[in-house]
Chain A
Amino acid sequence: MAQETQTRIRALATRRAFLTRFASGIFASLIVPAVASGVLDQVEAAPQEGAGPAPMPELPEGMNGQHPIERMLQDLQRALQKPVDQRRWAMVIDLRKCVGCYACTVACIAENKLPPGIAYRPVITETRGTYPNVSRRFIPRPCMQCENPPCVPVCPVRATWKRPDGIVVINYDQCIGCRYCITACPYAARSFDSGYFYSDFEGGLPQPYESLPSPEYGENRVRRKDTSPVGNVRKCHFCLHRIERGQLPACVLSCMGRATYFGDLNDPQSLVSELASRPNAFRLKEELGTEPKVFYLV
């Protein structure tokens, strides 16, 4: 009996050790590429004038090929060397890899300090079929950054436009809040900032995190009642402020399934160019002729 118990304890210890090592291995494989490529540092560190891109350390043994984050960062840095009108930012979302964790939605809200009721990147859940043949897929929906954006020509005061690099932006100080552009977007990718604060639902006292400046468009605005962006239309801008610092959009970095890719579509060497040209790539509502620059892989 005692011998049997000893054997069980040894077996348990061995199994524990195995699981511990296994879990550590998985954790390491998740965190090491980010650490290795300097991603975590970049979130905090401001860009240094004159300092070139940090050298890419070697990846751990056993990881075949280049890590997508590393490759996207290289693509990004290569694109930033070009004049702005020669870049064409695009996103590719692999629906087979998206697990519907909403990390991208949350990361976007945290990055841009979004108020209640505004999400630049909601994730749509789509269920198909009937039991037992049922499938579910998750479709993140950022702004499509259309090549022919229907939201731009309708703006009566030229408060929104497509930049030379293809990103559709809004000038908060110019926007009069007529919301015509919201009605014109076939993807419902524009939001109206009605002026809600989290504190409205939490006792009325301003929450400290609501006083943090939003880095959107590099303006560092602190959101207050009756001043922009309250009363404005808001939208995803591919984290333009991060891109210009040589960083990937928050949704791309936070994607734990590595389902979202970002880069320059004008660069044939870029990862997004490679993925977007695959036969299994499609875009939402292509029949409208808006030419979205968000591609989905199925």
Chain B
Amino acid sequence: MNRTEKILWGIALVGFLAGIAGLIQRFTGGHTVAAYGTYVPWGLWVAVYTTLVGISIGSFLIAALGEGARIRALQPLTRIALLTAFAALAGGLLAIWLDLGHPLRFWKLFLSTNPTSIMGWMAWFYTAYGILLLVLIYLQWARPTSPLLRLLFGLGLALAVIFGGAEGALFGVVSAQALWESALVPIRFLIEGAASGMALVLFLAILLGYLEPESGRFLRWTLLGLLLTVAVLEWSEYSTTIYAGIPTKVESLRVVLFGPFWWVFWIFQIGLGLVAPIILLAFLGERKVWLGTAGGLIAFTSLSAKLNLVIPALVVPELEGLRMAFTGPGLSFDYFPTLSEWLLAVWVVSVAALIFLAAYRLLPAEQARHA
């Protein structure tokens, strides 16, 4: 185990141990330990879940494009991408499982699936995707020459695109939340997810010391293209919203841009998550250190985009005057995660990191390039 790995293990273990306090509070205090409730029913854990699932899709795309679409530059990253995809998926599902009011009833998602619910479909998508990842991991390490691999990667590529978009559609179809209801949301989820997952793999590959120059170049320009697409999509969404002036949607957007957490948007989402990486990739991407920095910035600030989608839509009252109509715990339109929520989020991310590190230790990620 090299020094970098040891540091990563240390960080993950500290996060895991600190986060246990949040886990204990979640199980002993139920949902009363969280700041979400009736008016803001989804909070930090939902944002973490969507972020990790997006990262999983983006990571998987590297493997699927390398092996399924035979993009040679990405093939050396197949294994690390698969492990990242699996670990991120596990973390994302853990986050949303703990967010459920009745986590032990999750099996109803399979036995009583509502075919009209995107969330119902997502349960099956995740299952299919998770099984596919496990099969691919097995084949990649045990039978790397199996002809099934390319077929499954091709299938996975289609599945990742479909359910990457479906993840966004889960929000996009909710007409009651003006900020969510947009045909751009599924596309944004897909592109943002692709960018964050690819960026994390790039970051890890550089950190763990086996990024090949060809892979680096390919990811550099791919990420730059994805980030510019994200910028165009966000500009389209926000400028049309402001111009159209639909009150509730404008109000939600005002919360994003100029609300109490404006810095999440301007500093994290735009500054560190978009502008800085674009500059680094465009002008300094030749050097690994800047390439890795750009990757890390994109990956670690991806939570801010999800926070800015999930929460501002919910903090605007559906009916004027509802804020003061009745008061009590959970009846607030102001949301900021509690310490328990933060700790549990740290725990979930640490679990995902530990899964990755353990898998990385057990399964050698070095891989021969296809002929």
A contact residues vs B (CB 8 Å cutoff): 105, 116-119, 122-126, 139, 141, 150, 153-159, 174-180, 182-188, 190-196, 200, 225-226, 228, 230-233, 284, 288
Q: Which of B34, B100, B322, B326 has the most CB of A within 10 A?
A: B326
Chain B 312-323 interface mask (CB, 8 Å, partner A; 1/0): 001001111110
Chain A residues within an 8 Å CB radius of B34 = 194
Complex interface: chain A residues within 8 A of B183 (CB)? none
Chain A residues with CB below 8 A from B331, complex form: 117, 119
A residues within 8 A CB of B324? 125
Which residues of chain A are near B314, meaning CB under 8 Å?
Answer: 183
Residues of B contacting A105 in the complex (Cβ-Cβ under 8 angstroms)? 326
Complex contact B319–A284 (CB within 8 A): yes
Contact A156 B119 (CB under 8 A): yes
Our pick among A117, A139, A228 for the contact of B321 (Cβ within 8 Å) is A139
Seed contacts A190-B38, A233-B101; 15 additional CB < 8 Å A-B pairs = A125-B325, A141-B322, A141-B325, A153-B114, A174-B105, A176-B101, A180-B170, A183-B180, A184-B175, A188-B322, A194-B37, A230-B101, A231-B100, A232-B101, A232-B102
Q: Which residues of B contact A176 (CB under 8 A)?
A: 100-102, 105-106, 108-109
Please indicate which of the listed interface residues B34, B314, B322, B324 has the most CB atoms of chain A within 10 Å of its own CB.
B322
Beta-carbon contact of A185 and B330 below 8 Å: no
Main secondary structure of the interface of A (DSSP, over half): loop
Which chain B residue shows the least CB distance to A117?
B328
What number of B residues sit within 8 Å (CB to CB) of A? 49
B: residues with CB less than 8 A from A are 30-32, 34, 36-39, 41-42, 99-102, 105-106, 108-109, 112-114, 116-120, 122-123, 170, 173-177, 180, 314, 317-322, 324-326, 328-331
With A and B bound together, what is the CA distance between A231 and B122 in angstroms? 21
Name 21 A/B residue pairs within 8 A (Cβ), A-sorted. A117-B37, A117-B329, A124-B322, A125-B325, A126-B320, A141-B322, A154-B117, A154-B174, A155-B120, A156-B120, A157-B120, A158-B112, A159-B112, A176-B101, A178-B99, A178-B100, A190-B38, A194-B30, A196-B328, A225-B30, A231-B30
**Nearest CB in chain B to that of A126: its residue:** B321
